[in-house]
Amino acid sequence: MGFLRGLLRVYSWIFETLLCLLAIGVSIVSLTVGASDPVKFEWLPWNEAALPTWLIGLGILGLVLVLLAIVGRLRILLFLFAGAAFVMLARGLFFSTNTFEGPNEARLALFVVLGALLAFLGAWPSGGKGRNYRSR
């Protein structure tokens, strides 16, 4: 059971890192393209003007939280971040006005949401060995 928990934790770190890097990359592309052709995601709660700022900010925040979780500090924050990412992806892709162009696109969205759910479960902040304060 410990092996599976560790595997899910590492998967969570990798998934959240890739998600944050993707968000930063999309924001950089959106900023370099400029106002002529802004990047639009109707399923995200921000308009085209604020989207790059939010994506780069949340991407950097997520990377910092992943690094903190890897070193064993504040794992609860990565758990909350992964939960927010899962909810935002699920709500935006399946519980909004978002439409899919075909079954392949819907299947890909389902895999992304299921991957976010697994990352959320893997980020559960169960600590390793607890500190024993009585033995001092």
The pLDDT tens digits of the residues spanning 14-37 come to 999 999 999 999 999 888 877 666
Domain extent, residue 106, equals: 2-122
* Span 71-87, pLDDT tens digits: 999 999 999 999 999 99
In a domain, 128, yes or no: no
In a domain, 73, yes or no: yes
Contacts of 55 (CB under 8 A, 6+ apart): 23, 24, 26, 27, 30
Please give, one letter per residue, the 3-state secondary structure of 20-83: HHHHHHHHHHHHHHHHHCCCCCCCCCCCCCCHHHHHHHHHHHHHHHHHHHHCCCCHHHHHHHHH
End-to-end Cα, the chain, rounded Å: 31
Q: What is the pTM of this model?
A: 0.86
φ/ψ of 124, rounded to 5, equals -50, 125
Number of domains in the chain: 1
In a domain, 131, yes or no: no
In a domain, 67, yes or no: yes
In a domain, 135, yes or no: no
In a domain, 63, yes or no: yes
In a domain, 130, yes or no: no
State the number of CA atoms in the 13 A half-sphere of 35 facing the CB. 1
- Is residue 133 very low, low, confident or very high in pLDDT (cuts 50, 70, 90)? very low
- Closest-CA residue to 116 (of 41, 26, 24, 15): 15
In a domain, 133, yes or no: no
